[in-house]
Amino acid sequence: MVKELVASQKKFFLQNLGTSTQYRKKALLNLQSAIYKYEQEILDALHKDLGKDPTEGYMSEIMRVLQELNHTLKILAHYTKPQTVKTPFTHFMGKSQIYYDPYGVVLIISPWNYPFSLCLSPLIGAIAAGNCVILKPSEYAPHTQAIITKIIQEIFDPSFVCVVCGDGEITQQLLQEKPDYVFFTGSTQVGKIIASACAPNLIPYTLELGGKNPCIIDKSADLALSARRIVWGKFFNAGQTCVAPDFILIHCSIKDKFLKLIQEEINRAFSATPLETIGTIISPTHFQRAIKFLESPHSLGKVYGGQNKNQKIEPTLIDFGSLSHTQALQLPLMQEEIFAPILPIFTYEEIQQCIQFILAFEKPLALYLFSQNKPIQDQILSSLSFGGGCINDCIMHITNPHLPFGGVGNSGIGSYHGKYSIETFCHKKSIYKSPKWELPLRYRPYTHFLGISKLKWLYFLTRYLKL
């Protein structure tokens, strides 16, 4: 089945049926209409899979996809025609252009934590770029997988866009059929497997991965605002967000005040029954993994919260004290991305301690700094490499379609959102259109032109005219 499916999409692509501006626009508008039509079913599926509150589900999944659609429809025409760029004087009278060529058949492998938006957002860019697409949703979110399949089957020819369901074995089968591009969102460990599978056939890919995202709070920060935004960002989707703050580094002089404020904010946000209002950990396996994080640190840090049942964990803080107490840093929850509503807190005395500590990890997908101190902001931004982030906020950078979203190193390769999605799913083909007239400096014999040595002409053009 997989072999025939990929072959049919490659045939469809070679017929240029989906590459016209009109076809791409119609496909995106059809997707938009289908999302409007099935909004309630999407929200129901998200609640069944992840216990998502309807408002949270709409905000993080449906709204994100609709915003991406609206923005892409506005810029679509720009990427369906050649873009003329400057031509140097040495190419006098010539014309230089960039053609945005779709790759062909794109395989999109999406994760379970945002099973709707992280499947359809890259789909929008792939369609806008003129590709055919095979979607492989996560089997961990079966209800969302089912509604995605229903939508795609209803509005698209399977030779243009289709859904393939299954586990890692079906993914391997798809990769063996040599898609023209692979877009993967998930863990770093699986990302390495995807990259290895693409390597023998030199299939280009984008990897959207994760990492341990630091959140630094210096003594100039607005603590009440910091607490509110961190609680929202960390415990959104029950902490199952690749760009959520993974641990806090806070100046020792303000930790006690901050702990009081963040506990008050948790109580305000989740009421007296947090286990009823917070989302669900996706599976029993993932739940047990998170519980193990809670079992080991009791002797090393003070725990606030920690109650759990029915695949739910209440918002939990663990105060480990000073960064100099390195024993806590060897715990499992500091060795991998937490991906649960558990937030370790460490104190520091000098900002350089934070920098050195963060440098000991792989490059994170996100970094957050709460500070009103401009020199400290500049120091952090210039000293550390990470995918993206916010000053005095969390997560909001990924909701701006004008900003590229992606990691660096172990947190990812490539980026997308807005125009960056279209550019990701296109090969930028460079074309130079040459005129009949030219400066004959490049041809042999390399003697003279207009009585002057050709070598001197070249010196003049590069050294004095700076061409």
208 classed as catalytic? yes
Cα 114 to chain centroid, rounded: 11
Which is catalytic among the residues 56, 61, 177, 208? 208
Give yes or no for a contact between 292 and 300, defined as CB atoms under 8 angstroms apart: no
Q: How many helices (H) and strands (E) does the chain have?
A: 17, 20
Record the tokens describing residue 417, joined without a space.
């959102």
Give yes or no for a contact between 163 and 148, defined as CB atoms under 8 angstroms apart: yes
In the block, residue with structure tokens 């873009």: 83
Q: Cα–Cα distance between 406 and 211 in angstroms, integer?
A: 12
Characterize the bridge pairing of strands 181-185 and 205-208. parallel
Give yes or no for a contact between 290 and 235, defined as CB atoms under 8 angstroms apart: no
**Which H or E run includes 185?**
strand 181-185
Record the tokens describing residue 74, joined without a space.
């506005």
Q: Cα–Cα distance between 366 and 388 in angstroms, integer?
A: 5
Record the tokens describing residue 464, joined without a space.
């004095």
215 classed as catalytic? no
Q: Cα–Cα distance between 256 and 216 in angstroms, integer?
A: 15
Q: Which are the contacts of 73, defined by CB distance < 8 A and separation ≥ 6?
A: 25, 28, 29
Give yes or no for a contact between 395 and 241, defined as CB atoms under 8 angstroms apart: yes
Which is catalytic among the residues 119, 242, 354, 426? 242
Strand partners for 251: 348
Q: Cα–Cα distance between 139 and 117 in angstroms, integer?
A: 15
Q: Please, how many CA atoms are within 13 Å of residue 406, restricted to the half-sphere of its CB?
A: 19
Positions marked active-site: 208, 242
